[in-house]
Structure 1
Amino acid sequence: MYLKLNVAIEALIDRWYAWPHLVSPATSALNVIERHLKIMESYVQNPKIHAAAVKRPEMIGGPFIDYKGERSDEIKELCDFIKDKRSNMFEFATAVNDLNKLLQENAVGFSLEPLYNEIPEILKGFVELYYDLYNNPNFRFYESLLYKSEFYHENAQSISLQMISADNDRSFVLSTPRLDDAHLIHLDLPFKNSIIDDLFSMKRKKGNYNEIKERLAIKDTQEELFRSFFTEEPPKEYQRYLGNGIRTRYFGHACVLVETNEISILVDPVISYDGYETDVPRYTINDLPEQIDYVLITHNHQDHVLLETLLQLRHCISNIVVPSSGKGNLQDPNLKLMFNNIGFHNIIELDDMETIELEGCVITGVPFLGEHSDLDIRSKLCYHVSLHNKFKVILAADSCNIQPELYQRVHQYLGDIDVLFLGMECDGAPLSWLYGPLMPEKLDNDKNLSRRLSGSNYDQGKSLIEIFKPKNVFVYAMGLEPWLEFISSIKYTDESRPIVESNKLVRDCNDNKIIAERLFGEKTIEY
């Protein structure tokens, strides 16, 4: 039988929707203590406030659980379970705060050597202390050792399976844990388990239903639902690109497939589902090649490293290219380590202006500026892809061109391009929305609101176009597609600044004979 194309997998950690900061041990502990438990305790105390909040569009993405004010007993049970089974997370988070305090009070420019004896006991052997050149103290983790320690809770990992029947099937997943439900099958599997690959390969290749059922240990009470996930009808065959040029396909948000008849490159995989009625045309997994040569990850945010899509594609990905990180800084967990520990063993780290040279293709990492709230985060790259030295595209994701001189210098090396993909979500969330749990002290509200997760505005986008002189400009990564509501809390109107700014850029391009469009749904471009 075949697995239906609209069967989704959710990677969960203690029933919360997983993303890289929940996998990496240090960031996981702080997110669980400072985010998840606080949300659950708030819900238990006053579920009606949460029920009212999630009905208001402007509150989507906030710390509110979407169970209509019901199921508070189950939320309390999950909260108590985490407090009991993950007690060392509390010790870890407390130790991190104590270490921060120790450094702020005692590291005043003299040698740090005596302070190693004062490091909280459970952190000894996991951290290195250092000063920056302004004598500000800090510490870095030996993150690879944390993954081998008791602080990496692989037994907290599980998956859920469900069928998606509409774009709005799921509420915002980052603030609502996944409780038991009649339409879900929860399975206690670590993400690295290869049975996930075997299951999702059945979306393309016929497999043995009874064998996969037994290997997943499906209970008798689950079998009727599990059986409904399968069909005897084969999917449509993938139409491999056979032309002599280049085909580029937009899959929604920041996901772009670049193909020749020799190579396939998929950027920031976030793929919608097939098999139900929709007003918005889109490409799905069935529109991907059976073997993807390179997946490129631009940066470590939830809407660009979507484990839900990546786990479904793991069996057909040859290589994943990720930006190298800052080597142990708390706010910048290492993507290669994260992927390796959840079953991806084909990871290539790339630095700024470093290249991967293939036959007929060169992939270059391009500096990614801004969008990370001015934190020292290195795991971010734009990509320049050159095919047959005649087609050149830059995928800039959410890079914010706050310093045009940087890209002028890049242009001196890479030259003009044919296509620019640029994100223009220029009213991004404030620092605390993503990085708040990692901050030892709460930032003043005016400072917090000034440091946003924003992409380029009109002026910044226009400057990039003037520098690289593309023939085509595509605004993407805007969170507009309806199937992104479960992971993106963005709600735009015609008056929203990102819409106004991107409309202005598209008009300006077209007035200057540059073909431009803000992408939505699906798009194919052939060269």
Structure 2
Amino acid sequence: MKDNNRVYLKLNVALEALIDRWYAWSHLVSPATAALNIKGRHIGIMESYIKYPQIHKAAANNPKMLGGPFIDYSGERIEEISELLEMTKKKREKMLNFTKAISQVNKLLQNEADGHSLNTLYSKVPNELKGLIELYYDLNNRPNFRFFESLLYNTEYYDESAQSISLQLVESDNSRSFVFSTPRLNDENLIHLDMPFKNGIIDDLFKMKRIPADYTEIKEAFNISPEQESLFQSFFTKEAPSENRKYKGKGIRTRYFGHACVLLETNEISILVDPVLSYDGYETDVKRYTINDLPETIDYVLITHNHQDHVLLETLLQLRHCIKNIIVPSGSKGNLQDPSLKLMFNVIGFNNIIELDDMQSINVDNCCITAIPFLGEHSDIDVRSKAAFHVSLNNNLNVLFVADSCNIEPKIYERVHEILGDVDVIFLGMECDGAPLSWLYGPLMYNKLERSKDQSRRLAGCDYDQGMSLIKIFNPKNAFVYAMGLEPWLEFISSIKYTDESKPIIESNKLVKKCIEIGIDAERLFGEKTIEY
């Protein structure tokens, strides 16, 4: 009888990880950056919406304003946003005081640290930060401080009660609007559940996309109310997904899943780079690989850098149960703007994190993975949690994942080439018109940057000249440019609406054309792509 109650989770069931009802990303998990984003982003956006709902409505409907700080509720649901705002201010009062303390210690250092010993200043550190920071000078005698981040996670400033998940069916590529500027309110088409991200029942649920389980048991595990059950039941099916056969070839298979997500497979190992997956189970005009095209076990996930579209918790939490190891770039050990990826993953239930420094390698199963320097794309801020990856498989295929690294100083990659040599395949991003510094790092800045400076310091990848310089240095046989957010299923995390006249399209077209002219197989990717070697 119990077998008759066994069901699969539908392939188009999506999980959204939420913090204070906002779409979660790594800077909302790490306590210091979370506090500053609550104050400098979330509260400001909600206050603006309450005061000027029609401006938000107009901006949300304007494609040119996509990605801006505008709530997409058509100027409605003002009362609910007001309630969320008041709840946030009340529940996060200590976090808001924490941001004041960060500002105070910065002013203390700027005003009183004159090159003499900093020992006497510890007594003046605000109580909220006592025992959590170290004061220091750089070698130009400029004062700064760093967090003991592992201690920070063990304070009241890391509050798992702010975490929740929502479950919903994704039934079209554009069923969700841009998620980073609109809090997730209650909706008849989603189930909202308060639980920490580390909760193992999330793994139990998403295993069911391949392995059936008892419906009643999973319903009870999630404590589904009678009012929620009809919708919850619609997330399941008796129909088994199509069988995904493990790659058994003697060579190497490379599959592009969209954005910067690439899967490398041999008959011994699987490597997934920057996981961002589409959903299956609905009609679409663009072919793409989905979660059902992944192997049952992923040996290594590679994370290139700590931005929202490369550390997508929505995808990673769904895959957590089948990931053996995650390789991340090591960070700067407590700098405010560069929270540790390893610590962040650990507290949300990933206990399989490997950190690599520049030019450090891991060797396993006829595979060598090396982290190499990643330049630019971080607006000239001191961020170390970024790495391009060189992967050597079976001693006969070398693949370079440059991601969004911007080749602003080719000599660095010339030195890398002296160590690693030519590659067979290169994947690179060419979003050379990236957002200004304030779009991502604005809430962390002590003082608002002048507009001209803000606009000059952009989150940008390679242009044609920088990309071709990489091609000439590493001499690949294949060169692939990422789709740069153009795939329709990524609109919910991408603020990009390129046209044929957009600089990244012009520059990447030019690079692809030049590569083909000089005998390199090249393509700007879009949707699914398989290459076998």
TM-score of the superposition, structure 1-length normalised?
Answer: 1.00
One of 337, 342, 349 as aligned partner of 1:331: 337
One of 429, 432, 443 as aligned partner of 2:449: 443
Does structure 2 conserve the Cα–Cα contact (< 8 Å) formed by 1:299 and 1:380? Answer: yes
Shift of 1:313: 0.2
Verify: 1:3 aligned to 2:9, yes or no. yes
Distance in 1 (CA, whole Å) between partners of 2:243 and 2:138 is 56
Distance in 2 (CA, whole Å) between partners of 1:281 and 1:54 is 28
Does structure 2 conserve the Cα–Cα contact (< 8 Å) formed by 1:50 and 1:64? Answer: yes
For residue 266 of structure 1, what is the aligned residue in structure 2?
272
For residue 159 of structure 2, what is the aligned residue in structure 1?
153
Note the 1:342-381 alignment, pairs <5 A. 342-381=348-387
Verify: 1:525 aligned to 2:531, yes or no. yes
Shift of 1:499: 0.2
Paired letter, 2:469: S
Note the 1:74-89 alignment, pairs <5 A. 74-89=80-95
Distance in 2 (CA, whole Å) between partners of 1:164 and 1:481 is 15
Does structure 2 conserve the Cα–Cα contact (< 8 Å) formed by 1:398 and 1:477? Answer: no
Verify: 1:305 aligned to 2:317, yes or no. no
For residue 30 of structure 1, what is the aligned residue in structure 2?
36
Distance in 1 (CA, whole Å) between partners of 2:463 and 2:483 is 13
Note the 1:157-306 alignment, pairs <5 A. 157-306=163-312
Aligned partner of residue 502 in structure 1, secondary structure? helix
For residue 53 of structure 2, what is the aligned residue in structure 1?
47
Q: Deviations over 1:99-139 (max 9, x none)?
A: 11111111121111111111111101000011111111110
Verify: 1:434 aligned to 2:440, yes or no. yes
Q: Deviations over 1:240-282 (max 9, x none)?
A: 1111100000000000000000000000000000000100000
Verify: 1:458 aligned to 2:464, yes or no. yes
One of 441, 465, 473 as aligned partner of 2:479: 473
Shift of 1:477: 5.2
Paired letter, 1:159: I
Paired letter, 2:43: L
Note the 1:470-509 alignment, pairs <5 A. 470-476=476-482, 478-509=484-515
Paired letter, 1:370: G
Paired letter, 1:24: S
Shift of 1:46: 1.4
Distance in 2 (CA, whole Å) between partners of 1:110 and 1:430 is 36
Q: Deviations over 1:262-312 (max 9, x none)?
A: 000000000000000100000000000000000000000000000000000
Distance in 2 (CA, whole Å) between partners of 1:108 and 1:237 is 67
TM-score of the superposition, structure 2-length normalised?
Answer: 0.99
Does structure 2 conserve the Cα–Cα contact (< 8 Å) formed by 1:322 and 1:335? Answer: yes
Identity %: 71
For residue 125 of structure 1, what is the aligned residue in structure 2?
131
Distance in 2 (CA, whole Å) between partners of 1:378 and 1:343 is 23
Distance in 2 (CA, whole Å) between partners of 1:330 and 1:324 is 15
Does structure 2 conserve the Cα–Cα contact (< 8 Å) formed by 1:397 and 1:477? Answer: no
Paired letter, 1:438: L
Does structure 1 conserve the Cα–Cα contact (< 8 Å) formed by 2:483 and 2:524? Answer: no
Distance in 2 (CA, whole Å) between partners of 1:266 and 1:525 is 15
Distance in 2 (CA, whole Å) between partners of 1:502 and 1:114 is 55
Distance in 2 (CA, whole Å) between partners of 1:437 and 1:319 is 32
Does structure 2 conserve the Cα–Cα contact (< 8 Å) formed by 1:407 and 1:467? Answer: yes
Aligned partner of residue 421 in structure 1, secondary structure? strand
Shift of 1:359: 2.2
Distance in 1 (CA, whole Å) between partners of 2:177 and 2:107 is 38
Q: Report the aligned-residue RMSD.
A: 0.5
Distance in 2 (CA, whole Å) between partners of 1:359 and 1:82 is 49
Does structure 2 conserve the Cα–Cα contact (< 8 Å) formed by 1:64 and 1:176? Answer: yes
Does structure 2 conserve the Cα–Cα contact (< 8 Å) formed by 1:422 and 1:477? Answer: no
Distance in 1 (CA, whole Å) between partners of 2:180 and 2:273 is 23
For residue 4 of structure 2, what is the aligned residue in structure 1?
none
One of 111, 115, 118 as aligned partner of 1:109: 115
For residue 386 of structure 1, what is the aligned residue in structure 2?
392
One of 68, 73, 90 as aligned partner of 1:67: 73
Verify: 1:407 aligned to 2:413, yes or no. yes
Distance in 2 (CA, whole Å) between partners of 1:281 and 1:239 is 19
Aligned partner of residue 38 in structure 2, secondary structure? helix
Does structure 2 conserve the Cα–Cα contact (< 8 Å) formed by 1:16 and 1:174? Answer: yes
One of 343, 346, 354 as aligned partner of 1:340: 346
Instruction: State which drifts further: 312-321 or 99-108.
Output: 99-108
Does structure 2 conserve the Cα–Cα contact (< 8 Å) formed by 1:321 and 1:349? Answer: yes
Distance in 2 (CA, whole Å) between partners of 1:78 and 1:91 is 19
Where does structure 1 differ by over 2 angstroms across 4 or more consecutive aligned residues? Answer: none
Distance in 2 (CA, whole Å) between partners of 1:31 and 1:362 is 38
Q: Where does the alignment leave 5 or more consecutive residues of structure 2 unmatched?
A: 1-6
Aligned partner of residue 269 in structure 1, secondary structure? coil
Distance in 2 (CA, whole Å) between partners of 1:412 and 1:318 is 32
Does structure 1 conserve the Cα–Cα contact (< 8 Å) formed by 2:263 and 2:273? Answer: yes
Shift of 1:171: 0.5
